[in-house]
Copies of this chain bind each other. A is one copy, B any other.
Amino acid sequence: MDFKIYFLGTSSAVPTKERGLSCTAISYENMVAFFDCGEGSQRAINEAGLGFNRECVVFITHMHGDHVVGLLGLLQSMSMNRRERKLEIYGPKGIIDFVKLNREILGFGLTYEVHVGEIRPGLVFRHPKFLVYAQRSEHTNDSFAYVFEEAEKPGKFSVKKALRLGVPEGPLWSKLQHGGKVISPTNGKTVRPEDVLGPSRKGKKIGISGDTRPSKTLLSFFKGADVLIFDSTYSDEHAQNALENKHSTSREAAKLAKKARVEKLILTHFSARYRSVSALVRQAREVFPNSIAAHDGMVYDVES
């Protein structure tokens, strides 16, 4: 199954030769959820082969230019590609005006419908296969972190039990696997899904911090995440900057990841001052060994 995280822009504030501005995509089967859309996102999306016509939804963490300006070009390029599917965009207060006023000033029509919504903490998007939740983060302006949570998956199908209950291989198996009752053609008895399926499995949980200080609210929001993508703008050396500019050091990200008992920490949103982020990774691993650094073009397979 396709369930991947695409790191499309991993620099903080200004792009560098190697890193573009914030954009992360989670692809789930045929759907894509974008988190932030900094300048240059449309080019990175295109290069990653994600395309402009897929079913997708955009979430903005906060209304700073380096996280949202790329939305304008993305909207227009989707139109140039004759997109027809509706596009939903969610973000903090200001996102509606941003899209509306720029569409007026730049005079661009679109080939598809756009819905822009200003969110509050809680469930912000419901898809049959996943849910997206928002929670307040701690940055210099109104800002949100997100959790992408895969829906519970049905338990493992037991071939042995199905055969024992008189249900032969074929369409009846599929019906059971999808939660339907069937009548055994062998013995006429009713077989229910719970007779042949193991306990349902928890879906994967992915956390996206956006720009933020670590906080208790976020600690609880990201609890038990399989993957946590967290603001790591600074190294220990610049901890004071993290405090002043309401960002996190990689060590702070790691401390939160450890306390939240997440499975894997992916550091991102690096200050452009670092040519190499190896010191930031080292500092994070001292606290939470299962930490890696994102880089532009990196694809992380959630299923593997």
Q: Which residues of B contact A185 (CB under 8 A)?
A: none
In the complex, are the beta carbons of A101 and B105 less than 8 A apart? yes
Q: Give the secondary structure class of A's interface.
A: helix
A65 to B20 CA separation, bound complex (whole angstroms): 19
Q: Which residues of B contact A69 (CB under 8 A)?
A: 39, 69, 72-73, 106
In the complex, are the beta carbons of A64 and B106 less than 8 A apart? yes
A138 at the interface (CB under 8 A from B): no
Q: Which residues of B contact A20 (CB under 8 A)?
A: 43
Q: Which residues of B contact A98 (CB under 8 A)?
A: 102, 105-106
Residue in A17, A21, A76 with the greatest tally of chain B CB atoms within 10 Å: A76
A158 at the interface (CB under 8 A from B): no
Number of A residues, CB within 8 Å of B: 35
User: A13: nearest residue on chain B (CB-CB)?
Assistant: B80
In the complex, are the beta carbons of B65 and A108 less than 8 A apart? yes
A239 at the interface (CB under 8 A from B): no
In the complex, are the beta carbons of B80 and A76 less than 8 A apart? no
A42 to B17 CA separation, bound complex (whole angstroms): 11
Question: Pick the contact of A21 from B14, B15, B21, B73 — CB < 8 Å?
Answer: B73
User: A75: nearest residue on chain B (CB-CB)?
Assistant: B65
List 15 additional A-B contacts (Cβ < 8 Å) besides A16-B46, A39-B43, A40-B40. A13-B76, A13-B77, A14-B80, A15-B42, A15-B43, A15-B46, A20-B43, A65-B73, A65-B106, A66-B76, A68-B106, A69-B106, A94-B105, A97-B105, A107-B141
10 A-B residue pairs with CB within 8 Å? A15-B43, A15-B46, A17-B46, A39-B69, A63-B105, A65-B102, A65-B106, A65-B108, A69-B106, A101-B102
